[in-house]
């Protein structure tokens, strides 16, 4: 049991966010851990109320509580406000994006026994958002890679591998073309790898890595990537285990952590009780691990697996007819 009430910033988000976050809260409450939820709005929902997609009070809440559970937020394509996810990670220096990818029972997939972890640098690269028009019809985007960020994400990946019994880290890059930027990233990874005896280290060009992943994901253990490559490859890996609805995620920094699913806000099914909440529930399990509640985290994972194996309360993307609240209640009842 918990050592005392834990205050968590709760960001429901947009679209299906409030539904799947409510489902995760139901399951986390059923563990018996004492939570106090401090709800804050961000994303398109917050614009009408606060005039901005990311009100300062959201950042203040996460800084104060040092842990947050977040639903998906909408990001307009090609126009509108900047990504709330990117801004949260940059403003709070949540530099490590952790995305475990693990096969779950009862889920139809072309792959069995997938068990790998994507570690993605979260604060720079092309996601720095430094763009400008050079002349009409020509736009320049700046790719920022620094020694500091590359070294600390590499150390995070190797520390994770050592702490979780992983055997190998694969640094994914495009240094054959971007010799300076990706070359710096690789140089930092190589230096860090020397400090971790017993953990294998290899390097792979990103396009080849994608092909090798599709051919045989079991050959990989921990994938270490820059921001853009990590975003793309983590979604690719989610396809091995049933899609984004099954993929949890964590954003971790030195002074806080934010937990969220990999998927988007799916406005087309918002408010219809159709969304699959498993990814956010499993993100909640990652949050429990972060809080030191490892037994409760494993109980949540066992409950999810039990419901999936039984197959009676599955959302339609999993081949069932249950609603968001029904699968959440089924999982909570196992706890």
Please check whether residue 100 lies inside any domain of the structure.
no
Please check whether residue 99 lies inside any domain of the structure.
no
pLDDT tens digits for range 188-230: 999 999 999 999 999 999 999 999 999 999 999 999 999 999 9
Please check whether residue 192 lies inside any domain of the structure.
yes
pLDDT tens digits for range 280-317: 999 999 999 999 999 999 999 999 999 999 999 999 99
Same domain (yes/no): 119, 208: yes
Same domain (yes/no): 334, 256: yes
2-11, 177-186, 206-215, 267-276: the lowest-pLDDT one: 2-11
Q: Is 196 a catalytic residue?
A: no
Count the domains in the chain: 2
Same domain (yes/no): 185, 216: yes
Same domain (yes/no): 82, 148: no
Please check whether residue 261 lies inside any domain of the structure.
yes
- Residue 167: give its domain's CATH number: 3.40.718.10
**Domain of 160?**
109-241
Q: Is 229 a catalytic residue?
A: no
Catalytic residue among 14, 125, 182, 231: 231
Same domain (yes/no): 115, 230: yes
Check pLDDT > 50 for residue 105: yes
Provide the CB-side half-sphere exposure for 309 (13 A, CA).
Answer: 10
Q: Is 127 a catalytic residue?
A: yes
Same domain (yes/no): 179, 206: yes
How much is the pTM? Answer: 0.92
Tokens of 42: 């961000």
Same domain (yes/no): 31, 64: yes
Tokens of 311: 């197959």
Please check whether residue 103 lies inside any domain of the structure.
no
Instruction: Give the CA distances from residue 267 to residues 110, 113, 273, 330, in Å, rounded to whole numbers and listed in that order.
Output: 28, 32, 12, 25
Please check whether residue 139 lies inside any domain of the structure.
yes
Catalytic residue among 115, 174, 191, 196: 174
Catalytic residue among 127, 160, 201, 229: 127
Please check whether residue 101 lies inside any domain of the structure.
no
Count of Cβ atoms closer than 10 Å to residue 223 Cβ: 26
Catalytic residue among 148, 167, 179, 207: 207
Same domain (yes/no): 206, 298: no
- pLDDT tier for residue 74 given thresholds of 50, 70 and 90: confident
CB 295 within 8 A of CB 31: no
């Amino acid at each position: 049991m918990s050592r005392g009430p834990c205050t968590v910033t709760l960001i429901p988000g947009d679209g299906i966010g409030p539904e799947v976050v409510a489902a995760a809260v139901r399951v986390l409450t059923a563990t018996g851990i004492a939570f106090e939820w401090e709800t804050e709005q961000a994303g398109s929902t917050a614009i009408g109320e606060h005039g901005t997609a990311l009100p300062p009070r959201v950042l203040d809440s996460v800084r104060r509580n040092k842990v947050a559970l977040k639903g998906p937020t909408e990001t307009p394509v090609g126009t509108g406000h900047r990504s709330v996810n990117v801004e949260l990670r940059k403003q709070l220096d949540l530099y490590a994006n952790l995305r475990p990818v693990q096969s779950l029972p009862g889920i139809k997939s072309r792959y069995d026994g997938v068990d790998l972890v994507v570690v993605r640098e979260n604060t720079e690269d092309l996601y720095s958002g430094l763009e400008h028009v050079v002349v009409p019809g020509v736009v320049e985007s700046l790719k920022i890679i620094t020694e500091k960020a590359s070294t600390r994400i590499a150390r995070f990946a190797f520390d994770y591998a050592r702490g979780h019994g992983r055997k190998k880290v694969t640094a994914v890059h495009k240094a054959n073309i971007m010799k300076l930027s990706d070359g710096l990233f690789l140089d930092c990874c190589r230096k860090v790898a020397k400090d971790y005896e017993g953990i294998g280290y290899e390097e792979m060009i990103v396009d080849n890595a994608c092909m090798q992943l599709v051919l045989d994901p079991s050959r990989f253990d921990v994938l270490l990537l820059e921001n853009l490559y990590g975003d793309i490859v983590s979604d690719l890996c989610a396809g091995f285990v049933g899609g984004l609805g099954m993929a949890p995620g964590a954003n971790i920094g030195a002074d806080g952590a934010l937990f969220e699913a990999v998927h988007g806000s799916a406005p087309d099914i918002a408010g219809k009780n159709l969304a699959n909440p498993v990814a956010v529930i499993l993100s909640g399990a990652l949050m429990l691990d972060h809080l030191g509640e490892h037994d409760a985290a494993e109980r949540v994972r066992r409950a999810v697996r039990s419901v999936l194996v039984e197959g009676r309360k599955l959302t339609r993307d999993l081949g069932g007819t249950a609603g968001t609240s029904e699968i959440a209640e089924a999982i909570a009842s196992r706890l």
